[in-house]
Structure 1
Amino acid sequence: MPDDFFGGLDFGTSGARISIINFKKELKYTNSVSYQYGFKNPNSWINSCEKLLDNLPLDIKKNIVNLAISGTSGTLTACTLRGDPIGEAIPYDQACNENKILIESITVGEDHLQTPYSSLAKALKLIDKFGENIILRHQSDLITGWFLKDWTYGEEGNNIKLGWSLIKESWPKSYLKTSWQKCLPLIIKSGKILGQIDTDLAERFKLNKKILLVSGTTDSNAAFLAAGLGDEEGLTVLGTTIVVKKINKTPIKEKGITTHRVSNKWICGGASNAGCGILSQFFSDLEIKELSRQINPSKNTSLNLLPLNSRGERFPVNNPFLEPILSPRPVSDSLFLHALFEGLARIELKGWEKLYELTGSLPKRIVTTGGGSKNPQWRAIRERIINIPIISCKKTTSFGTALLAINAK
């Protein structure tokens, strides 16, 4: 009898990846594709999903039983009531300053929502642009709805930045008085079975018609699941942006900090606007690999760069007007890359110092995932600057999403 398979799809900044595991949690298949139209275009996400489904081996297609989706936290898009995307999505790292006074008036005591990077700020901007006869969905929830052909639902973790309270399990009371509350999703806990795949979609891609869609999570929470962190370990995700997370006994509410509930544990952390994205602005992957070999990670460049991907920062400081510092640029490309690595490591250090300030403890070991985790020179520079042992986790975010699918209830 063939294996039952469990699928995880993860949608990032540059593309999407699928991982298929069996009941023993062994990876049986994985594949990734880049976005065709760019990150801000929601049709890129759907197009990438179609490519990944098309390329699945037939024996896997017929035996997937559960499927979960993860996506970037805080990337919000407007859709018609039938789930068709309208215009571009507003990405997680874009600040929306237009409705500052209104946001402060409806989020009294909710400091974490009073930032231009919140999904609430993005939601109000989209409503101003497209009106109230729309639905607002994050990346993961939009794709989950596409599989079901039902866009009713939103997963709790993806909607914290929109105002959902994990403790009260409700939207802020002030939202009840608004005319746009109808644009918000019906919230479901992560890991819950939502329903069966749309029949026409299953037929189109020759998939098992009884696949169950499972309420997903954010990309960094999926990375957390993949890493299998212990209570005294921390997680750094080195993707397009840097994310740091650790387990805490209680939730934290502060600008730039997000608290999630994963596997019945409180996970607090923050995401910078700096990360691998700045490296790819200057160098190809092959150039980074070759130039890294010329770096002596035990030495300090004495260059003090602030390598944000663009203007503005979310964490460890919350300042939408903060400018990157990318000069003076040395003649040597390897020295410049070395200095960028150091600048990114200092941002990560400040992130851990911020979490120490809020939680009273530092991790005894940092587990790293994401593309940047594969670079040994960067890892050595990070260990020198942060002064905490660092190990790399080879399991991908989509593997963590597949673990959600296997444990669905």
Structure 2
Amino acid sequence: MVDIVAAVTVDGDGGPVWVGIDLGTQGVRAVAVDAAGAVAGAGQAPLHRDVRDGPRHEQDPAEWWTATCAAVRGAVAGLRGRAVAAVAVDSTSGTLVVQDRRGLPAGPALMYDDIRAAARVPAVQEAGEAVWTALGYRMQAAWALPKLVELCATGAVPAGHTVVHQADHVVARLAGRPVATDTSHALKTGYDLLADRWPTDVLDRLGVASAVLPAVVIPGTRIATVSAAAAGECAIPAGTPVVAGMTDGCAAQVATGALAPGRWCSALGTTLVLKGATPALVRDPGGGVYCHRHPDGGWLPGGASNVGAAILSRDLPGADLAALTPAAAALGVPPGATYPLVGPGERFPFTDPAATGFDVGGPDAPTPAETFARVAHGVAYVEKLAFETLAGLGADVSGPVVATGGTSRNDWWCRLRADVLGRPVSVPEQAGSAFGAAVLAAAPPGSLARTAADMVRLRATFDPRPGRAAELADGYARLRAELATRGRLPV
């Protein structure tokens, strides 16, 4: 049985809404959003059939569809006759499924973090070295292309079948037929974003026939309409346009409106993820930054650090951070330096699989408030280092920052980040990939940034306080010096 949680419908002007569908790891969420960015309805449904076995991680694509229908029914249940103008779907990046000519699944899905094809990565990297270098990234075990090679090599793709991404498959179910994919989902499958084509010579060397891959379009391109059969299951009217989606990370960026050069979104939850927009491709020799195509033109660079709030779950299990905040705020800038990694390895702002976290120069037995303050400052300093790294790669990081993630609910932490960065930090009213997908569905071709500017509302903006700049600069300098001592940064 599928559980549904539907939001209360809000009153609007009676105009059309756009539906965004987010296919997450644990469930599906759908929202209906109007032209002013008001959420007119929301629904969600969990995914139960999730199987992990060592390096393997699989889900049942049939459950994606039933959960999608349940979530969408919840989102549109209270629309009171308002028209659904279009639909877009986002999904986890690197997830693949084999489907037949009708768009139905032919087996379990290989999820975004499935690394069964890790042994194929060296061959995949070598075969497309020139392409990957030009695009500024290296193939990784969890990316879709090694998994695609594995599927083809093991006979898991019968004649006449295709290998598609998670969102492609759900849109195929909406349309009643296979559909094109988008450049965002296709990135980790090896699509050449510079040449705007599948690198068939590379795929040939890897034993992948181009016929198993879908056509590729820019996110936001109209690719289908909702079929009569699907309309009966999901309650979206037949004939409703469906546009090509994007990965969940890109959709989350759209939800912040950070789509113009100089503007960035910074998602701080378990980890820290920065995403922005640049006119030119940003290439990182260290591999910590890679770029999606911007639907309006240009690029969407991003980098993800393993630093984040996860360490608070380890060091302060069950703590009420809101209750700790006044005491943490009263402590001022902590002495020493903290790099709050939970486990080994860092991806960005530097790449080092052996890197470990540290907390030096502080009290021997810190109180919970002191621990919270040290982590909050450490994360803010890493965020500043990440922006400096992006600037060093040629990205414009001069504009404001939009903060999302669980920590964005803590105003003190947001204000601290603004003080450390020396620029305004804003928090949106609505965040999340489903909202971003709805904005994508609403955007005319080439107008995603303008549409997001019209639909994204800000809850609060925190301006940097000049009086704090000097002491925070000292704290940041201590972190950089400690990283240099440990060989993580140049001296």
Q: TM-score range by the shorter chain?
A: 0.7 to 0.9
CA distance in 2, matches of 1:293, 1:144: 47
Specify the SS of the correspondent of 2:423.
coil
CA distance in 1, matches of 2:392, 2:270: 26
CA distance in 2, matches of 1:393, 1:26: 12
Q: Which among 262, 281, 300 is matched to residue 267 of structure 1?
A: 300
TM-score (norm 2): 0.71
CA distance in 2, matches of 1:290, 1:128: 55
Listed as ranges, the gaps of 5+ residues in structure 1 are none
Residue 179 (structure 1) aligned with residue 211 (structure 2):
no
Q: 1:233 to 1:58 in 2, by over 3 A?
A: closer
Q: Which among 80, 88, 113 is matched to residue 68 of structure 1?
A: 88
Aligned to 1:257: 289
CA distance in 2, matches of 1:291, 1:87: 45
Contact 2:95 2:166 in 1 (8 A): yes
Q: Which among 221, 224, 242 is matched to residue 192 of structure 1?
A: 221
Q: Which among 185, 201, 205 is matched to residue 158 of structure 1?
A: 185
Q: 1:401 to 1:339 in 2, by over 3 A?
A: same
Q: Which among 329, 332, 356 is matched to residue 298 of structure 1?
A: 332
Q: Deviations over 1:70-93 (max 9, x none)?
A: 223x33223343442744533259
After the TM superposition, which residues 9-408 of structure 1 pair with which residues of structure 2 at under 5 Å, given as runs? 9-33=21-45, 35-37=47-49, 41-43=58-60, 45-60=64-79, 63-72=83-92, 74-81=93-100, 82-84=103-105, 86-87=107-108, 89-91=110-112, 97-109=118-130, 110-111=132-133, 112-127=137-152, 131-133=156-158, 135-172=162-199, 173-181=201-209, 182-229=211-258, 230-254=260-284, 255-259=287-291, 260-276=293-309, 279=312, 287-296=320-329, 298-300=332-334, 302=336, 304-308=338-342, 312-319=345-352, 321-322=353-354, 325=357, 332-359=367-394, 361-397=396-432, 398-408=434-444
Contact 1:17 1:31 in 2 (8 A): yes
CA distance in 2, matches of 1:269, 1:22: 28
Q: Deviations over 1:238-283 (max 9, x none)?
A: 3454221222221134423222213224222222344455555676
Q: 1:61 to 1:395 in 2, by over 3 A?
A: same
Q: Post-superposition shift, 1:391? A: 1.8
Listed as ranges, the gaps of 5+ residues in structure 2 are 1-12, 52-56, 446-491
Contact 2:262 2:396 in 1 (8 A): no
Contact 2:87 2:242 in 1 (8 A): yes
Q: 1:228 to 1:158 in 2, by over 3 A?
A: same
Q: Post-superposition shift, 1:360? A: 5.3
Q: 1:386 to 1:222 in 2, by over 3 A?
A: same
Computing the radius of gyration over CA atoms, which structure comes out larger, 1 or 2? 2
Q: 1:272 to 1:365 in 2, by over 3 A?
A: same
Q: Which amino acid in structure 2 is aligned with residue 119 of structure 1?
A: A
Q: Post-superposition shift, 1:138? A: 3.1
CA distance in 2, matches of 1:171, 1:373: 39
Q: 1:302 to 1:33 in 2, by over 3 A?
A: farther
Specify the SS of the correspondent of 1:105.
helix
What is the count of residue pairs matched by the alignment?
406
**Which region of structure 1 is more displaced relative to structure 2, 188-197 or 173-182?**
173-182
CA distance in 1, matches of 2:156, 2:192: 25
Q: 1:147 to 1:220 in 2, by over 3 A?
A: same
Contact 1:132 1:180 in 2 (8 A): no
Q: Post-superposition shift, 1:126? A: 4.8
Q: 1:103 to 1:179 in 2, by over 3 A?
A: closer
CA distance in 2, matches of 1:61, 1:94: 46
Q: 1:135 to 1:313 in 2, by over 3 A?
A: farther
CA distance in 2, matches of 1:340, 1:150: 50
CA distance in 1, matches of 2:405, 2:98: 30
Specify the SS of the correspondent of 1:405.
helix
Q: 1:383 to 1:406 in 2, by over 3 A?
A: closer
CA distance in 1, matches of 2:405, 2:21: 15
Q: Which amino acid in structure 1 is aligned with residue 31 of structure 2?
A: S
Q: Post-superposition shift, 1:359? A: 1.0
Q: Post-superposition shift, 1:304? A: 2.4
CA distance in 2, matches of 1:123, 1:91: 12
**Which region of structure 1 is more displaced relative to structure 2, 11-20 or 328-337?**
328-337
Q: Which amino acid in structure 2 is aligned with residue 141 of structure 1?
A: D
CA distance in 2, matches of 1:283, 1:34: 29
Contact 2:173 2:230 in 1 (8 A): no
TM-score (norm 1): 0.83
Q: 1:213 to 1:323 in 2, by over 3 A?
A: same
Q: Identify which of structures 1 and 2 has the higher relative contact order when contacts are C-alpha pairs closer than 8 Å and 6+ apart.
A: 1
RMSD across aligned positions (CA): 3.5
Contact 2:94 2:185 in 1 (8 A): no
Q: Which amino acid in structure 1 is aligned with residue 75 of structure 2?
A: L
Specify the SS of the correspondent of 1:113.
coil
Contact 2:41 2:77 in 1 (8 A): no
Q: Which amino acid in structure 2 is aligned with residue 71 of structure 1?
A: S
Contact 2:262 2:278 in 1 (8 A): no
Q: Which amino acid in structure 2 is aligned with residue 147 of structure 1?
A: L
Q: 1:270 to 1:65 in 2, by over 3 A?
A: same
